[in-house]
Structure 1
Amino acid sequence: MKLYAVADLHLGHPANREAIHAIEARPNDWLILAGDVGETERHLDLAIDALQDKFRQLVWVPGNHELWAVASHGTPLKGEARYARFVQRCRERGVLTPEDDYPVIAVDGTLVRIVPMFLLYDYSFRPAHVALESAVAWAREAGLRCADESLLLATPHASRGDWCAARVAATGARLDGLDAAIPNILVNHWPLREELARLPRIPRFSIWCGTTRTQDWHTRFNARAVVSGHLHMPSSRVIDGVAFEEVSFGYPKQWRGRREPDAALRRIRV
């Protein structure tokens, strides 16, 4: 069995909704959807409708876009309630989430554990001279604004940073309790290490890209590979002997004329 991953399908864009139908069937393999499938439950359903029958199993983690307080109909859910609704929808459709048991499977003949995570960010990917309370203003000095500031609400937590701290603590405790003999494939929408969140054209966007709390997780939790998205900068890097795979598909202007939709799927080797 093989393991594939893709992030940032952004199915709010019609071209992307059409593109996912060009992804080839791999009925014996698993596919990770590493966040930012879209902004609504309908977008999630579109992805599941298009991809579930093509793969043995789908695994989903949320990105910031899923957590935006936007409504398909009625009053939009916020914060933890919104995340819980997406988890519920995945479970209704047979898709694994960060709230489910971590499956142990044989990938390329090697037993590994798939660990979908939801960890958020806390503005700690910033220079040492920039205070936490000044981080957003520091980014704005460079003309950067992130829609999360108005749309990604942390209810009932006091802030996204507090929500991030709670998610990191709970996930870390859960990982500490696992059998360390089985290596892990760690999956999170946001990169786990600060040096991976360097965007050459918009470097100050890093504050919305992760948390330094996870800087050593690839070694602390015996990872064979770490899968993420969010940056829209597909790449493969090896750090401390661990493969870090950024698997973004991206907006139409980022993939059209550059690669075919099926080529956006990254095979995760163990």
Structure 2
Amino acid sequence: MRVFALSDIHIDFPENSGWLESLSVLDYRDDILILAGDISDSLARLRWCFDTLVRRFRRVLYVPGNHDLWVIREGGTDSFGKFRLVCELAQACGVSTGPEQLGNMSIVPLLSWYDYSFGPPGEQILATWMDFQACVWPAGFGMADVTAYFLKLNETTVTGYSGAVITFSHFLPRIDLMPRFIPPAHRLVYPVLGTSRLDQQIRRIGACIHVYGHSHVNRKVDIDGITYINNALGYPHEQRIATRQLMCIYQDGVPGAPC
């Protein structure tokens, strides 16, 4: 059994949905896929994605991303309501949104948002970041409140696990996961990348691997005993920083073993 990681597949782009559909229906039947958010804000496309992947993998585990909680396309609810709809749809399609014990390994999804613990947002990001127009939260809810809401939901899963533990989230748990080569002009998005409070939960769980998404900057780095991995499909024009392949992160009880 192998465990693969993937995030930010953005299937609204035909190139990305075509890539997803091209995955073998035979090669991964005994394998696990961690899908770390950002599929589409369309429920119909989410269903298509889930159906496509469950036909290819033994098990698909998923956590929603920020794009998945946008409500401008379909409306009818706020983003907390959209979160519940997305999770219900995933479960109806046979996709797991909760912890899974698979042999000697546990895989634990962790919800989060951003709370500006990576820095204060500037005027440019406040004016241009699409979440601020496409997500709708209850009156009086700031980003720190949204983050606290999702982190509290994690508390039921922040318990002791036996064997190897892999956690995954859409958002970044620490800002030093961003590489030094990122130009200063592009760092304006850092405040909306995640929350440092998430890393505290990851370490309480005792993870050996944490998979994340959102940044579209693919990376594998070891920090204080945890291997952090981002394997984003990304937007079609981002081939320099993202990749268009599955990444095997665990096989037969060995993290990082050749797959």
- Compute the TM-score of the two structures, normalised by the length of structure 2: 0.86
Distance 1:268 1:156, change over 3 A: farther
Distance 1:139 1:112, change over 3 A: farther
Please say if residues 70 and 134 of structure 2, whose CA atoms lie closer than 8 Å, have aligned partners that are also in contact.
yes
Q: Which structure 2 residues correspond to residues 1-270 of structure 1 after superposition, within 5 A?
A: 1-24=1-24, 25-72=27-74, 75-97=75-97, 100=98, 102-106=99-103, 111-126=104-119, 135-136=120-121, 138=122, 140=124, 145-155=128-138, 158-171=141-154, 173-176=155-158, 178-197=159-178, 200-201=182-183, 202-255=186-239, 261=244, 263=245, 265-269=246-250, 270=255
Cα deviation, residue 19, structure 1: 1.3
Please say if residues 210 and 226 of structure 2, whose CA atoms lie closer than 8 Å, have aligned partners that are also in contact.
yes
Distance 1:43 1:70 in 2: 15
Q: Which residue of 2 aligns with 1:129?
A: none
Cα deviation, residue 80, structure 1: 1.1
Q: Pick which of 142-151 and 36-45 moved more.
A: 142-151
Flag structure 2 segments of 5+ consecutive residues without an equivalent: none
Kindly tell me the number of residue pairs found equivalent between the two proteins. Answer: 245
Flag structure 1 segments of 5+ consecutive residues without an equivalent: 127-134
Distance 1:190 1:120 in 2: 6
Please say if residues 6 and 266 of structure 1, whose CA atoms lie closer than 8 Å, have aligned partners that are also in contact.
yes
Cα deviation, residue 207, structure 1: 0.7
Please say if residues 72 and 135 of structure 2, whose CA atoms lie closer than 8 Å, have aligned partners that are also in contact.
no
- Code of the residue aligned with 2:142 in structure 1: it is S
* Identity between Structure 1 and Structure 2 (%): 25
* SS of the residue 1:48 aligns to: helix
- Compute the TM-score of the two structures, normalised by the length of structure 1: 0.83
Cα deviation, residue 31, structure 1: 0.7
